[in-house]
Chains A and B, each alone.
Chain A
Amino acid sequence: MKIAFPTAGDNLNSVIEGVFGRAKSFLIFDTETKEIKIIDNTANLSAAHGVGIKSAETVSKAGIDVMVCMNCGPKAQDVLESADVKIIVTDESTISKAIEKHNLNKV
């Protein structure tokens, strides 16, 4: 299962970015292979409108199954759901804490 987290960091201890659409990158964790991939999102940050939408588009194209974030606007949610991505809303501050809290370490 491929899980994405909005973050400025590059490892599992990184802090989850609070505002989904403004994340500098997305960290994708593959629960099967345990591999980490970073998708750069900075190109989308300069938009005046709809950063959430565009960020959702960018990360969906990477073929993820789940998005874990602290909040996600209705349009960004719409994009993710249209791409068949499940959204998990978390209170946890770091990626590893969120993985543990939401039992995401299963294949």
Chain B
Amino acid sequence: MKELVIISGKGGSGKTTVSASFASLAKNSVISDCDVDAPNMHILMKPEKTLTHDFHSGLLAEIDQDKCTSCGLCYEYCRFDAIDKSTDKSGKTIYRIDELKCEGCSLCDYVCQANAIKLSTPKRGVWMESDTKYGPMIHALLDAGGENSGKLVSLVKSKARVKARDDNADVLLVDGPPGVGCPVIASISGADLLLVVTEPTQSGKHDMERVIHLADSFKMRVAVCINKWDINPEVSAEIDRVAKENGAMSVGRIRYDRSVPRILSEGKIIVEQDGEVSSDIKQVWRDVSRTLKS
């Protein structure tokens, strides 16, 4: 079983569009959407028979107002600006924890003299196992404002790996998140090949470099594919050059086609349509799967 992770550095480069096409082309695969903050694969994969599980993580502090003596120590010590201070009608100072800012470090509990801090492990989102036309899919969704440590991503990946092993899948396809933070680190961990989908812009080039730098620190094999390359052939050439300088291999280019967003809007997968963009993606898949097997 080989694991392919598709990332971009820059958001909106076309990761999910490419991942969905790969899911359609790959025989015997398991699919996993690791963009748990803003997942989009399900829109094209159309999952069914979904089993949903709650995801709990970290700690959340809460101040028990009955026990609180308003000493203000928690407010003084909290380094995440997660304690709000206000005054009530009687003039008493009220301290309240901002749920979205609390990092769960529990320092407030440590300094509190009145035992007024309650710590709990809140639900942060859900993870799901579904069936799709293209194979089993493991995906997730974080609640708005949920901490995005990468833990949910790691969970999705480990469930997907187990599924792939149990089903004797040939490929585990992972649609990754944008950026270079924890969720991306969690999504690339253990991959056999990283595919960076980028766009022919200065921003795309810059973000690709940062994501290759991240991949280097994990000693991963990196391949680069330029989406909508003909919007700017000069920058595309620059990107190929930079990719090569950074030890990444180019696995082809996908041309710009105005009709792509409309096809996606209809919930259709590009490689299942006719046309040149479809052929371009199929060629990239051929290169990628060959590299994956080697």
Q: Is any CB of A less than 8 Å from a CB of B in the complex?
A: yes
B161 within 8 A of A: yes
Contact call B190/A49, Cβ cutoff below 8 A:
no
Interface string of B130-167 (1 = CB under 8 A from A): 00000000000000000101110010001001000000
Contact with B along A23-49 (1 / 0, CB 8 A): 000000000000000000000001111
Least Cβ–Cβ distance between A73 and chain B, in angstroms: 8
Measured as residues with beta carbon below 8 angstroms from the partner, the interface class of chain A is: under 10
Determine how close the nearest CB of chain A comes to the CB of B147; give it in whole angstroms: 7
A73: chain B residues within 8 A (beta carbon): 189
Interface string of B35-75 (1 = CB under 8 A from A): 00000000000000000000001100000000000000000
B283 to chain A, nearest CB (A): 33
Query: Which residues of chain A come closer than 8 Å to B57, judged between CB atoms?
Result: 46, 48
Interface size, chain B (Cβ < 8 Å): 13
B182 at the interface (CB under 8 A from A): yes
A-B Cβ contacts below 8 A, count: 20
Q: Is residue A105 contacting chain B, with contact meaning CB distance below 8 A?
A: no
A-B contact pairs, 14 of them (CB 8 A): A18-B161, A19-B158, A22-B154, A46-B57, A46-B121, A48-B57, A48-B58, A48-B147, A48-B151, A49-B149, A49-B151, A49-B182, A71-B190, A73-B189
**Min CB–CB distance B162 → chain A (angstroms):** 9
Contacts of A71 in B (CB 8 A): 190
- Tell me if A48 and B161 are in contact (CB < 8 A): no
List, in ascending order, chain A residues with CB within 8 A of B58's CB.
48
Q: Is the CB of B158 within 8 A of A48?
A: no
A22 B158 Cβ-Cβ under 8 A: yes
Interface membership of chain B positions 109-125, coded 1 if the CB is closer than 8 angstroms to chain A and 0 otherwise:
00000000000010000
Give Cα distance in the complex from A47 to B57, angstroms: 8
Interfacial chain A residues near B158, Cβ < 8 Å = 19, 22
Q: Roughly how many angstroms separate A19 CA and B189 CA in the complex, as a whole number?
A: 10
Chain B residue at minimum C-beta to C-beta distance from A47: B151
Give the residues in chain A near B154, CB-CB below 8 Å: 22
A18 CB to closest chain B CB (Å) equals 7
Given contact pairs A22-B154, A49-B149, enumerate 11 new A-B contacts (beta carbons under 8 Å).
A18-B161, A19-B190, A22-B158, A47-B151, A48-B147, A48-B149, A48-B150, A48-B151, A49-B150, A71-B190, A73-B189
A71 to chain B, nearest CB (A): 7
B residues 179-197 in Cβ contact with A at 8 Å: 182, 189-190
